């Protein structure tokens, strides 16, 4: 596989493929039933450089700034059919890690990053609230400064890694009267008094990615846990959301490719009316259309990865990647499942899990409607 990858990436891919197949896949059904992945997996992955590879070398990380490694992990999770578990680990590598790598001061980096690099400190980010989804400006959680502490009050929901997490980046209002300029990032740690985790939410898909409600009642958080500067949360979020949205888009096309591969194998083996399903014209047409859609999309996603590496990926391009990749993921898993017939509805086949897992992709990270709004501003500027 060439595309945008070099020899070191190919070696990394093979190593991670072995890890996913041998360390994760045998336990995936257990995690799906339990609604949570074994947290030891993060530590095991870190030993091989699959977690922490993009954290600063000075504090035990791998020091990589090459998003191609993140891309490979996302693609291999899709190939192995490890949807929810993959989402849980990719959230750490693709979404939360950049906040710590970029905005930690030296004291914070020394305190948190070594444990993150070892896979011992699992991270999450808490943006969404029960009354606010994609509208981050409507966040009501507060973190009011009182001497050398912030007193945090509020609630968050739909938080991936909400149960397993040890460090939660909480988006909160530090100045309730300053609007968008009054929000900051506060790191709340496991065990802080007043920090409670609600139920592990019962979702229709992505079961092995624990997703929880979080509540904060007069949680006294040291002022030293302010990530970056006070009042700049929206700026930080805007910068990092581009990578998050690209990550979701990459997962979209990776799952679409995996669904295509599974379906090709299935229709060649399965027979109906005395002949392989692959021999029917409808099967050929559907697979031709799906293969074309994947082939046409892949170069754009790869281009976005290289732009991200160069610091040139625009919010509109990230929104395009997220919009198209997530919508395509849902569309293609649906079309491929149809060719499996009744067996596609059975959990023993990965296409069924991929189908239900796909539905969230056009919602989290910003809904498709929000992506269209972002893109339209660029188009009409």
- Give catalytic residue positions: 244
- State how far the Cα of 23 lies from the Cα of 38, in Å rounded to an integer: 11
Main-chain dihedrals φ then ψ at residue 217, nearest 5 degrees: -125, 105
State the DSSP string of 58-93: GGTS-----HHHHHHHHHHHHHHT-HHHHHHHHIII
Report the DSSP pairing between strands 183-189 and 226-227: antiparallel
Neighbours of 24 (CB within 10 A): 22
Check: CB of residue 119 under 8 Å from CB of residue 44.
Answer: yes
Q: Which letter, b or e, does each residue of 112-128 get, where b requires 16 or more Cβ atoms within 10 Å of its Cβ?
A: bbbbbbbbebbbbbbbb
Bridge partner list, 212: 159, 200
- State how far the Cα of 148 lies from the Cα of 170, in Å rounded to an integer: 18
| Alpha-helix runs per DSSP H in 204-314 | 233-269, 281-309
Least Cα distance to 300 among 249, 342, 356 occurs for 249
DSSP character for 94?
I
Which region holds residue 49: left if phi is over 0, alpha if psi is between -120 and 50, else beta? left
- State how far the Cα of 81 lies from the Cα of 45, in Å rounded to an integer: 18
- State how far the Cα of 59 lies from the Cα of 112, in Å rounded to an integer: 9
H/E stretch holding 99 reads: helix 97-103
Check: CB of residue 49 under 8 Å from CB of residue 93.
Answer: no
Main-chain dihedrals φ then ψ at residue 113, nearest 5 degrees: -65, -35
């Amino acid at each position: 596989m060439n595309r945008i990858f070099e020899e070191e990436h190919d070696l990394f891919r093979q190593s991670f493929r072995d890890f996913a197949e041998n360390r994760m896949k045998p336990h995936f059904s257990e995690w799906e039933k339990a609604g949570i992945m074994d947290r030891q997996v993060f530590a095991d992955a870190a030993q091989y450089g699959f977690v922490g590879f993009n954290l600063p070398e000075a504090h035990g990380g791998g020091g990589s700034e090459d998003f191609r490694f993140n891309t490979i992990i996302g693609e291999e999770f899709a190939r192995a059919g490890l949807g929810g578990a993959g989402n849980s680990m990719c959230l750490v590598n693709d979404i939360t890690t950049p906040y710590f790598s970029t905005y930690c001061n030296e004291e914070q980096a020394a305190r948190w990053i070594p444990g993150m690099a070892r896979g011992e400190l699992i991270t999450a980010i808490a943006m969404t609230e029960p009354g606010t989804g994609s509208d981050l400006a409507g966040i009501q959680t507060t973190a009011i400064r009182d001497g050398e502490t912030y007193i945090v009050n509020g609630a968050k929901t739909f938080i991936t890694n909400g149960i397993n997490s040890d460090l939660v980046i909480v988006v909160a209002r530090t100045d309730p009267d300053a609007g968008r300029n009054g929000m900051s990032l506060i790191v709340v740690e496991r065990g802080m008094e007043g920090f409670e985790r609600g139920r592990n939410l019962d979702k229709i898909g992505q079961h092995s990615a624990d997703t929880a409600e979080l509540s904060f009642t007069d949680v006294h958080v040291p002022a030293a846990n302010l990530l970056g500067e006070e009042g700049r949360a929206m700026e930080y979020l805007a910068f990092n959301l581009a990578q998050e949205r690209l990550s979701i888009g990459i997962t979209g096309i990776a799952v679409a490719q995996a669904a295509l591969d599974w379906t090709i194998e299935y229709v060649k083996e399965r027979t109906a009316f005395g002949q392989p399903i692959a021999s029917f014209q409808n099967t050929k047409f559907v697979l031709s259309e799906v293969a074309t859609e994947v082939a046409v999309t892949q170069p754009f996603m790869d281009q976005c990865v290289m732009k991200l590496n160069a610091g040139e990926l625009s919010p509109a391009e990230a929104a395009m990647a997220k919009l198209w990749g997530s919508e395509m993921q849902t569309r293609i898993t649906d079309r491929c499942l149809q060719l499996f017939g009744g067996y596609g509805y059975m959990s023993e086949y990965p296409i069924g899990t991929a189908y239900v897992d796909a539905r969230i992709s056009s919602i989290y990270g910003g809904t498709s409607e929000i992506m269209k709004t972002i893109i339209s501003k660029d188009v009409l500027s």
